[in-house]
Amino acid sequence: MAADLDVLRSGAAEIIPADGLDEKLALGRPLRVKLGIDPSRPDLTLGHTVVLRKLQQFLEAGHVAVLIVGDFTGRVGDPSGRSETRAMLTAEEADANARTYLEQAGLVLDVERAEVHRNAEWLAALDAAALIQLASVSTVAQMLEREDFRTRYQGGEAISVVELLYPLLQGYDSVAVEADIELGGTDQTFNLLMGREVQRAYGQEPQAVLTTHLLEGLDGVRKMSKSLDNYVALTDPPDEMFEKLMSLQSDALIPKYELLCTDLGPADHARVVAGLADGSIHPNHEKRRMARTVVDRYHGAGAGEAAEAAFDRVHKRRELPEEVPERPVPATVIRTDPHRGWFLYVPALLEALGVVESRSEARRLLAQGGVRVDGESESREQIPLEGQDLGPFIGSVWQVGRRRFARVGPVSPG
């Protein structure tokens, strides 16, 4: 079957063995191309889409895209890049996250044409004897060759036996689906190579491995991750997605975002890299194009332009968004003090409006100057009132940071 080898190779960080992809394609049949994603958190980010897009490319080239949602391995948690043991998910948490992942993966991958599995289908059925057989594939010494395990071992940090089993369980997935090729980020290289060893042990031809580059997060340094709060979620609303992308800290990453997260392609990527280097392309102009393109990709044509207009309305002209949610607030935001009389307790108000997650966050933001009322900075935790009446603040718009707005609605009892 003919395949566009350049497309399949594009964006690849490494192919193992070097001629592995060519050898598999030479078999002259549709290849079984595996990608496993553990549902450790409920949402997918742009970082996840890099390898999902690669799987879609194989699907479009006529191969079998095998997507495995690790509802079983996700309960253990991938130790890759971890400096400590990850807390195990419950079966219920893993199942809920798995459902969300499948829905969101459909924004990138044609899941109707793909072969989709949850690895509990086969891993949950392993009995003690089968697990012992699987564990015999590797040695502790081989596991400690892995950098994160070695670092933790040398530093006296705990490594659970379950974590040592994780690469073997992921490798058994390749046996279960008879994978010809496995895809993953560069942080998955150890696990993917272990899949080759497990397949050999179970009498299968070892898979070829194709790794993709990791996408740095909005901080421009670390891998995109929800736990690091440097991410863009696929479910982010258009305005929020655009604003997050405009906050990307490194202009040097603009071409990489375009290459890995859009369909602009390698030729456009080369043009942008050269233009940013010689000054013929302005970074802010290109960042805007990148952000519009990504928003269009996940919210439809024209959504990026609309989000850009909303961004400029708020951040360039200091105007309010077109739609600000109005929320009722409990009467408990109004308090009294024997010495000062009635006052509005601002942390409680911000929490009620849903623009902060906690009152401690509200107090911190007030102290840092991160709160505005009708466009004016507000730092007070207690604002005097004329009696037990919130009237002057009904309809006022409170803003936290750059993205969170809410309008004070009527006072509700409680």
The boundaries of every CATH 3.10.290.10 domain in the chain are 326-412
Residue 106 burial by Cβ neighbours in a 10 Å radius (0-12, 13-18, 19+) = middle
Closest CA to 384 of 346, 356, 349: 346
pLDDT for the residue 83: 43
- Whether the pTM exceeds 0.85: the reply is no
> Residue 393: how many CB atoms within 10 A of its CB?
20
pLDDT (average), residues 341-346: 90
Overall fold of domain 5-212: Rossmann fold (3.40.50)
The boundaries of every CATH 3.40.50.620 domain in the chain are 5-212
Quick: pLDDT tens for 72-96: 887 765 555 544 445 566 777 777 7
The residue type at 212: T
Q: Tell me the DSSP string of 356-372.
A: SS-HHHHHHHHHHT-EE
> Residue 155: how many CB atoms within 10 A of its CB?
8
Sign of CA dihedral 348, 354, 360, 364: negative
pLDDT for the residue 44: 86
Quick: pLDDT tens for 388-403: 888 778 888 898 887 7
> Residue 130: how many CB atoms within 10 A of its CB?
13
pLDDT (average), residues 159-183: 92
The boundaries of every CATH 1.10.240 domain in the chain are 238-315
Question: What is the CATH code of the structural domain delimited by 238-315?
Answer: 1.10.240
Residue 211 near residue 193 (C-beta atoms within 8 A) = no
Distance CA 52, CA 67 (A): 9
CA distances from residue 323 to 57, 160, 260, 306, 317 in whole angstroms, order as listed: 38, 50, 32, 13, 16
Show Cβ contacts of residue 288 under 8 Å, excluding neighbours closer than 6 positions.
246, 308
> Residue 354: how many CB atoms within 10 A of its CB?
12
Q: Looking at domain 326-412, which of 3.10.20.740, 3.40.50.720, 3.40.50.300, 3.10.290.10 is its CATH number?
A: 3.10.290.10
- With H, G, I as helix, E, B as strand and everything else as coil, classify residue 311: helix
